[in-house]
Amino acid sequence: MELFAGGGGLAMAVHRAGFRPLLVNEIVKYACETLKINVAEPRRGERIPASGERWPLHEGDVRDLRFEYLWDRVDLLAGGPPCQPFSLGGVAKGDEDKRNMFPEMFRAIREIQPKAVICENVKGLLRPSFRPYFDYIENELRLPFEERDPDVTWREHDTFLRARLAEPPTDPKRRYDVVTTTVNAADYGVPQVRHRIIVVAFRSDLGVDIGKFEEAVQPGYSEAALFRSMVDGSYWKRHPKVPARVRRDVMARVPHVLPADDDKLPWRTLRDALKGIDGGRPLPPVPWDRLDRREYNHGGVTDHIGWPDARIYQGHTPNELDRPAKTVKAGVHGVPGGESVLLTDDPIVDPIDGTPYTYRHRYMTVRETARVMTFPDHWKLAGPRGEQMRQLGNAVPAALGEFFANKIADALDEAESRR
């Protein structure tokens, strides 16, 4: 079951890992339209869908949902609950932001008792000013059935939970073992630097080997390996048409002394994404005379539309092709500033005063941004460009979500085999 599904990144990833969607929830209009275009349909009553049916989608506020009909039927509860930033001084008084949706995740757990839970969220939840409250969120996840009284502050409830956690569980099905992993998506094969936290919980009665799971979710890609691949030439063999000037400029920025071999795969770059990862086809180039906001026959690729007036200015530096992309963000009007601008291989004929860049730049298309988020090309995004980019900025990169979902499936299968 997926809550706060957005444009479908995590839901798609979990499905790829072999989990069958029983219920998907989202409230944002265009995100719902995206889900319906691709995989979902409005749900018809409280029923378990048959294998192969489109995903049942509840369009609306999660607080209006009741989950009891799914009791003990859900292997994995997934979602990225909104947790708006607010000061510790405010929450100390019990005035948590009403947009904080973690309590709805805990309510869903109480009503369905899933075997496992996965949540993705921003790394900012670990900042010092917020960390005590995040520790409380983890404790709530460990003991979700110990529901907090509305008149009790979070600090008081946290003290109670810590005391209960020090005691042996009376019912292991009502307690969860929690693993929080700080990730950079680039370290997991995503062509984007994106720092997040992934919180995974397993029901204690299942006996999942937590230490083994923590080892299984260690990253397998590195920047050092990318540098080594450039030096030994294997990176350039994948991209034989890169102009010599561009290659020289890139190699000039590679450290002279390389880190020791870490036995990891090279970070994937924006150039890798545009060419096509794991057998994908290259995206056609965007002609400079077609930055006109108009769709045209572009090799059958949707949402690959040139956009005019891209600017580079202080604090908004562009994406470079031979690095992972910068973090895709969900601004008010789509991806903000330099996060959606890329430097191309085309040199600037007439130098521009005051800029250190010698290559032409343009906005990334929606499809290029979707590639950076490891969304497949067949996944269509609803709404105008700004709304499409917002969905991508709010999403979980599909490859990152699939990696963790696969490791969860492995852990559940192994625990089941021992029972």
Q: What number of other Cβ atoms are within 10 A of residue 158's Cβ?
A: 20
Q: CB neighbours of 240 closer than 8 A, spacing ≥ 6? A: none
Q: Count CB neighbours of 299 within 10 A.
A: 10
- d(CA 283, CA 287) in angstroms, rounded, equals 12
Choosing from 12, 35, 83, 412, the catalytic residue is: 83
| CB neighbours of residue 398 within 10 Å | 24
In which order are the strands placed within the sheet that holds 40-42? 40-42, 55-59, 24-26, 2-3, 76-79, 116-122, 195-203, 176-184
Give the residue carrying structure tokens 């930055």.
Answer: 291
Torsion of CA 99, 105, 111, 113, to 10 degrees: -170
Is 83 assigned a catalytic role? yes
Provide the 8-state DSSP code for 340.
Answer: G
Are 25 and 43 a contacting pair, CB within 8 Å? no
> At 248, is the secondary structure helix, strand, or coil?
helix
Any idea which residues carry the catalytic annotation? 83
